[in-house]
């Protein structure tokens, strides 16, 4: 009787070992796919950022654009200062 029980336990343990290795391989493959997709998305985002930055260099090289940006930033700070002074904080 014990030999039959040992055979059943051996079959159960063997199937558990095979199944766990298949699960680990599937997990590694899914992880690899997920990391690859994330890396691809990050690469695309960096390329878009680089292209937009390259276009902005030519835009900000003009003096009239800098004058407009300085006015907007200055008015923003003045408005924030007035708002802070008027508030009760």
Question: Could you tell me the residue ranges of all domains in the chain?
Answer: 2-86
Percent of the chain at pLDDT above 90?
A: 35
Helix, strand, coil abundance in the chain, percent, nearest 5: 95, 0, 5
Q: Which of the residue ranges 45-49, 54-58, 73-77, 83-87 would you say has the lowest mean pLDDT? A: 54-58
pLDDT score recorded for residue 15: 55
Contact between 70 and 76 (Cβ < 8 Å): no
Give the model confidence (pLDDT) of 41-64 as tens digits. 999 999 999 999 888 888 777 778
Tokens in use for 19? 């199944």
Q: What is the token pair recorded at 22?
A: 């298949």
Distance CA 7, CA 62 (A): 83
Separation of CA 3 from chain center: 55
Contact, 88 vs 82, CB < 8 A?
A: no
How confident is the model over 4-22, as a mean pLDDT? 55
């Amino acid at each position: 009787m014990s030999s039959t029980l040992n055979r059943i336990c051996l079959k159960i343990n063997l199937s558990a070992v095979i199944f766990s290795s298949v699960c680990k391989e599937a997990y590694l493959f899914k992880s690899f796919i997920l990391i690859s997709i994330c890396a691809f998305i990050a690469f695309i985002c960096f390329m878009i950022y680089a292209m937009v930055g390259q276009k902005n260099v030519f835009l900000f090289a003009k003096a009239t654009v800098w004058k407009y940006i300085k006015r907007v930033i200055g008015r923003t700070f003045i408005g924030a200062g007035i708002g802070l002074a008027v508030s009760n904080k």
